[in-house]
Amino acid sequence: MALKEVSSNKCFNGFQKVYEHDSSELKCKMKFGIYLPPKAETEKCPVLYWLSGEYFEAVFEKDITKGGCNIKGEEESWDFGTGAGFYVNATEEPWKTNYRMYSYVKDELPNLINANFPADSGRMSVSGHSMGGHGALILALKNPGKYKKGVLIYLLQAYDATHIVKSYEGSPLDILIDQGKDDQFLSGGQLLPDNFIAACTERKVPVVFRMHLGYDHSYYFITTFINDHIRHHAKYLNA
């Protein structure tokens, strides 16, 4: 699959690059960002996929931006369609042939990364923010053993982490979730983290849940705590 380099910037002695490609899974053009550390010049590196809550994103120690698929209604709401990061395979028209984000990030993107970059396919982890955090959870829960331990933080039950974890029997997980106490989506009753924590406790799936006073849903919140999550994943990626 051909990749087109869109940009390249020197960053922390490595390179932050953006690539574009035609997605066979989504039937449209996709862009993803990838950070290549200095050691990528001489050896394979572990991969940390970052899933954003707005616009589809991923990380290679990295960043994806979803291009429009020209689906009717994709731009009508900020929390659905192009502007949202629901990591599901939709089953209803018009989405079922064009809205397969789960399959894209589970299969097509990793295959693309492994084929074109010095990625160690045996050391892969997944994290994310907002809907991307939920996407990270369902990817780990639905694919035991695919990802190294550790993930961050409505839909159908098949893509509901609270529902999936109730029957989880895969390899051990080590889940870290940070939540802003002043998050508007928390106060609005849209996030419901207590339900997920209760399900994990019932199933004896380890999860560390940290609530932070004064923080909201924004990227300022992510910036404050992202290093903790990178270190959390590094424990297992570098083991």
130 catalytic? Reply is yes
Q: 3-state class of 212 per DSSP?
A: strand
Catalytic residue among 130, 160, 232, 233: 130
Catalytic residue among 21, 129, 134, 217: 217
Neighbours of 17 (CB within 10 A): 21
Supply 25's token pair. Answer: 């899974």
Q: What is the DSSP letter of 100?
A: B
CA 228 – CA 239 distance, rounded (Å): 17
**Contact assessment for residue 113 and residue 119, using Cβ atoms and an 8 Å cutoff:** yes
217 catalytic? Reply is yes
Catalytic residue among 63, 160, 178, 183: 183
116: burial class by Cβ within 10 Å (0-12, 13-18, 19+)? middle
Catalytic machinery residues: 130, 183, 217
